[in-house]
Amino acid sequence: MLTHKQIWDAIDALAARHGLSPSGLAKQAGLDPTTFNKSKRGSAGGKLRWPSTESLSKILNATSSSFDDFVALVENRTAKLRMVPLIGLAQAGQGGFFDDAGFPAGSGWEEIAFPDTTDEHAYALEIAGDSMLPVYRDGDRIVVAPSMLARRGDRVVVKTETGEVMAKILARMTAQRVELKSLNPSFEDRNFLLSEIVFVHRIIWASQ
């Protein structure tokens, strides 16, 4: 049976996983900072209050977490960890770090522990600079799943034939073109011919 405490504990755990307080998580999701405060979890008369499905949807989106991730926190399952290769986003544009299929290759990668994913080729990039604010900050780490299909609206890592690597939102992809929306409104959106793109990989997680 699903309990009130399980849900709220899972929200607290999701916030902690991303280095945030419950109020920080709410703020990042565009909610009132007091949405998940202890005082909001029950009335003075002792009546239990539950978070709304809208607020849950927003915090999952803000942390690039899936519903399955949240269910695992609700059930307090111990995640099986594996080591995932890591390099800096700026390094990723240099030669030798990816094979012809767009999978991590070669030396120079570090490793971080990450909950096991179905994509055996998953890798992590460390963000540098402010071009991806307010979604990703300098020093944040994103985990990318190259074998997962990227869909419209997904946050993605894109590498071009010129060696440029960027994190954007996939606005549209056809047989001829790739249209990307910038995470930071101060930076312009980008459009490329498909022939100019080496890969488009889906972002599945971020440490924020």
Quick: pLDDT tens for 1-57. Answer: 789 999 998 898 888 877 778 888 999 999 999 999 988 898 878 889 999 999 999
Determine contact, residues 89/125, Cβ cutoff 8 Å. Answer: yes
4-74 domain in CATH 1.10.260.40? yes
Domain 81-207, CATH homologous superfamily name and number:
Umud Fragment, subunit A (2.10.109.10)
Q: What is the pLDDT of residues 59-94, one digit of tens each?
A: 999 988 888 888 888 887 645 667 889 999 989 988
DSSP codes, 116-155: --S-TT-EEEE--SSTTTTTS-TT-EEEEETTSPP-TT-E
Domain boundaries, the chain: 4-74, 81-207
Q: Are 92 and 165 in contact (CB under 8 A)?
A: yes
Does residue 29 contact residue 59 with C-beta atoms inside 8 Å?
yes
0.75 surpassed by pTM:
no
